Amino acid sequence: MDSAALLFICLAAAVHVAAAATLHDHSQCLDNPPDLSLRGVEAGKVVSDLPGGYTAYVTGPSSSKHAVVLASDVYGFEAPMLRKIADKVGATGYYVVVPDFFHGDPYNDSKNLTEWVKYHSPVKAAQDAKPLFTSLRNEGKFIGVGGYCWGGKFATEMAKTHDIEVVVLSHPAYVTVDDMKEIKWPIEILGAQNDTVTPPEKVRQLEQALHQRMEIEYIVKIFPRVAHGFACRYNTADPFAVKSAEQALTYMLDWFHKYLK
């Protein structure tokens, strides 16, 4: 095959990938919505009086000097699987806070995601959350932020501030290469091979941008044979999906242990 033909094939493949990404843009953000009826026994509780006016699910020892704030995907802080993750993080000794950043208005299927996200910008949410982080700080806590999808962008924004020490992004959405230029703290990015929201090529671009920073510690992993949402919204009947999500949690905990403890 001559090089012109090869180039054509590569271009055709690239165009195909780009078209697929546009077509399915954000749709994976909505796959496997949480089943609220699956709520089991929870180790934590919902509190409604946090600084900044937040309701939140809190779990783990409140006296801990290490806090983890989990930022949910668009479905919000009520998702049973997210709470289970929060309980597991809390069981390792962190005080875990899962705020309702949507103030009672999470995304659901009757809404238009593009419209909804205009009123629930993760960038603005991070700015608004300042009082919450300040109060954790004032309690002497070191803070990690773990974000999923929408929350991945939230975590990214927090990593540009002096209010936290470490972040983990699991299958993030809306995160850009330019964002990486402003990161101030160790960052872990957990991508997925089949993610059409932030596909592996995009994750590699983020990694490259971090690499160029020199002074920022980072780790990037792309989980094979799973899609966007794999860390917090997966098919519990699929052993491979369960195992991948468990590994993602282990990666997140290891990163937090390294920089918080």
Q: Which residues bind ligand NAG (CB under 6 A)?
A: 105, 108, 110, 112, 114-115, 193-194, 225-227
| Residue with tokens 């089943």, as numbered in its chain | 35
CB of 105 to ligand NAG, least distance (A): 5
Question: At 17, which helix (H) or strand (E)?
Answer: helix 3-23
Helix, strand, coil in percent for the chain, rounding step 5 = 45, 20, 40
Q: What does the buried/exposed string (b/e) look like for 177-209 if buried means 16 or more CB atoms within 10 Å of the residue's CB?
A: eebbeebbbbbbbbbbebbbbbbbebbeebbeb
CB of 104 to ligand NAG, least distance (A): 7
**Cβ–Cβ under 8 Å, residues 166 and 186:** yes
Separation CA 168–CA 188 (nearest Å)? 5
CB of 109 to ligand NAG, least distance (A): 6
Separation CA 167–CA 252 (nearest Å)? 9
Answer positive or negative: Cα dihedral of 230, 236, 241, 247. Answer: positive
From start to end of the chain, where are the E strands? 45-50, 54-59, 66-71, 95-99, 142-148, 166-170, 187-192, 218-223
Nearer to ligand NAG, 76 or 151 (CB): 76
CB of 238 to ligand NAG, least distance (A): 8
Nearer to ligand NAG, 204 or 261 (CB): 204
CB of 103 to ligand NAG, least distance (A): 11
Separation CA 42–CA 19 (nearest Å)? 42
Nearer to ligand NAG, 226 or 253 (CB): 226
Nearer to ligand NAG, 74 or 180 (CB): 74
Q: What are phi and psi of 201, to 5 degrees?
A: -60, -40
Residue 167: burial class (beta carbons within 10 Å; 0-12, 13-18, 19+):
buried
Nearer to ligand NAG, 225 or 258 (CB): 225
Nearer to ligand NAG, 32 or 64 (CB): 32
CB of 191 to ligand NAG, least distance (A): 13
CB of 42 to ligand NAG, least distance (A): 20
Nearer to ligand NAG, 96 or 125 (CB): 125
